[in-house]
Amino acid sequence: MTKSALLVEAPSSSSKKGIPLFIAGRKMNEEIRSLFPALNNFVYLNNAAVSPIPTPSVEAVISQLRDVSENGALNYTNWVATKERVRKSVAEMLSVSPEEIAFMRNTSDGLSAVAIGLQWKEDDNIVTFEGEFPSNFYPWKMISDRFGVELRICPKRDALIDIEELIRLVDKNTKVIALSAVQFDTGFKVDLERIGSVARKYDALFAVDMIQAFGAVELNLREQFVDIASGSSHKWLCAPEGCGILYISQRARDRIFPSFVGWISVIDPWDFDNKQQSWKPNALALESGTSCSCLFYGLEKSLEIIKNVGIKNIEIYLEKLTDQLCERLSSNGYKVASSRKHGEKSQIVAIIPKSGDDHIKITKDLERQGIIVSARNGFVRIAPHFFNNENDIELLTENLP
């Protein structure tokens, strides 16, 4: 495979000032890489854990903190306006409406707020997968423990999901299907539209952990029949930790009683004397109080970079880059645990250590050489992003044992 084969053509539109488009040509790839100082020090392939933050985002965070330091709350309306711009931007990227987006602290908070807000009966059941990341497991286990609801768990099959087996667990008493868009360890990508269609057939809600997809995989939550999606800012969005993103469709909101609430959950938060107000009729009812404003300044800049590059372009690029990675790994005698089938493969690649090798030791040895990956569930997990290139892949594969 030639190096030019990995380059993605840009949209025809021009870039915003200071934010490069992701176009064919090494020069532009280098411009993108220049936004991430971590790449001066590391071959960074651990974006499924935490992505480096680009310099413009760091500067934006500092600018808001400096504003508070110098002016107190005088520019409060600007802080709120920034948050609302971010809400609109997130909604556009997910093909939903801004009023369907609530900001939480993290993925877990979003899913827990939804789980406890639903009205449960003993004959209800929840369908999920054994390999789910705990953020999308413990909220549903809590419901099972508290209300006696059956938790139906589809087992791992060679670390992957047998979608047919999972679908067979769904019936007329299923209230929620809880699944990740992309699995955290193997990177298995779920056909969201198919599972969402099954959920609609049985009038269940489809709750998705989107953190390993949003920013690297194109999502259209409405067309994919997703009712609830929770994620956060610090992985594929390349933004500061602490901005949880919760999508709640109106179909789901009609079934959720707000339980995680506060002063901004009501129709008019500034009418402090009226304590008889109704909850907001949309996802915003689950926002409880004051947010960390500086984080939204950072997230806004990171979203600008991602949007200007184009998530579809990123997805195509990462598919080609990981295809090349898997070819090199296989030729070096490594078994790839991740599915590489069309529709199931993603930007996350998990490999099984060779006989006698330990996945944690491999990860630590690579780190000492400045190559950053992670150890997950017995695998070495490799997770490149749009700022990685062929040279990163070559350095990794050359330094694996």
Domain 3-54+309-399, architecture per CATH: Alpha-Beta Complex (3.90)
d(CA 348, CA 48) in angstroms, rounded, equals 7
* Pick from 242, 280, 233: nearest CA to 261: 280
What does each of the 401 residues of the chain score in pLDDT, given as a tens digit? 333 334 444 333 334 444 334 444 455 578 899 999 999 999 999 999 999 999 999 999 999 999 999 999 999 999 999 999 999 999 999 999 999 999 999 999 999 999 999 999 999 999 999 999 999 999 999 999 999 999 999 999 999 999 999 999 999 999 999 999 999 999 999 999 999 999 999 999 999 999 999 999 999 999 999 999 999 999 999 999 999 999 999 999 999 999 989 999 999 999 999 999 999 999 999 999 999 999 999 999 999 999 999 999 999 999 999 999 999 999 999 999 999 999 999 999 999 999 889 999 999 999 999 999 999 999 999 999 999 999 999 999 999 99
Residue with tokens 């490999």: 351
User: What is residue 27's predicted lDDT score, i.e. its pLDDT?
Assistant: 53
What is the tens place of the pLDDT at every residue in 103-152? 999 999 999 999 999 999 999 999 999 999 999 999 999 999 999 999 99
Domain 67-306, architecture per CATH: 3-Layer(aba) Sandwich (3.40)
User: What is residue 26's predicted lDDT score, i.e. its pLDDT?
Assistant: 52
What is the tens place of the pLDDT at every residue in 341-353? 999 999 999 999 9
- The first and second tokens of residue 27, run together, are 């020069």
- The first and second tokens of residue 138, run together, are 């413990």
Say what the pTM is.
Answer: 0.93
| DSSP string covering 157-192 | BTTB--HHHHHHT--TTEEEEEEESB-TTT-PBP-H
- The first and second tokens of residue 208, run together, are 């998705």
d(CA 264, CA 81) in angstroms, rounded, equals 15
The residues, ordered by sequence, that sit 6+ positions from 242 with a Cβ below 8 Å of its Cβ are 105, 106, 233, 234, 292, 295
CB–CB of 185/376 below 8 Å? yes
d(CA 128, CA 60) in angstroms, rounded, equals 39
- The first and second tokens of residue 33, run together, are 């890489």
Hey, which residues does 375 pair with through a beta bridge?
380
CB–CB of 149/122 below 8 Å? yes
State the DSSP H helix or E strand holding residue 62, giving kind and residue range, or none if neither. Answer: helix 55-71
* Pick from 190, 193, 130: nearest CA to 157: 130
User: What is residue 28's predicted lDDT score, i.e. its pLDDT?
Assistant: 52
Domain coordinates of the chain in residue numbers? 3-54+309-399, 67-306
